[in-house]
Amino acid sequence: MMAAELVAHMKIRSGDCIKVKGKIELDAKSFAINLGQNESELVLHFNPRFESYGDVRTIICNSKTCGEWGMEVREAAFPFQQGEEFKLFVCFDAKQITVKMHKGEELKFPNRLEIDTAEYFSIVGDVRIKTVKFD
């Protein structure tokens, strides 16, 4: 289990974006951004892995319902570097979640829970968070 860096409980509505700025640890194995109702109901688990669970430089996306993980989606683009700063936008809507990464990459993940508001946002793992803005 990764150590939580940040947990926020607030209403995130369809159309809202969350802007995250942080720095990845030099020896980072992975980090994750979670969005949903709570830890057991996640509409998005966004998990860049430098070297973790047998994955190397891969982004894993998933959802969780009633504490059960859904089907993993692997993303080939990997714009993250250990020891470097990064910026992310997580844009939530009732159909899908879009993650915009700092080098222009964009990842779209379906809103499998079909929720139109999220109340839980967390960032865990080998990163230091500088700012989180909710727009």
What ranges do the domains of the chain cover? Answer: 4-134
Side-chain half-sphere CA neighbours of 105 within 13 A:
14
User: Can you give the pLDDT at residue 103?
Assistant: 87
Looking at residues 34-48, what average pLDDT do you find? 97
Top CATH class of 4-134 equals: mainly beta
As a whole number, mean pLDDT of residues 50-60 equals 95
Nearest C-alpha neighbor of 33 from the set 43, 47, 19, 21: 47
Q: What is the pLDDT of residue 76?
A: 84
Q: What percent of the chain has pLDDT over 90?
A: 92
Tell me the pLDDT tens digit for each residue of 84-132: 999 999 999 999 999 999 889 999 999 999 999 999 999 999 999 999 9
pLDDT at residue 1 is higher than 80: no
Q: How confident is the model at residue 43 (pLDDT cuts 50, 70, 90)?
A: very high
pLDDT at residue number 120: 97
| CA 1, 98, 114, 135 torsion-angle sign | positive
Q: Residue 4 — pLDDT band, cuts 50, 70, 90?
A: low
pLDDT at 30 > cutoff 90? yes
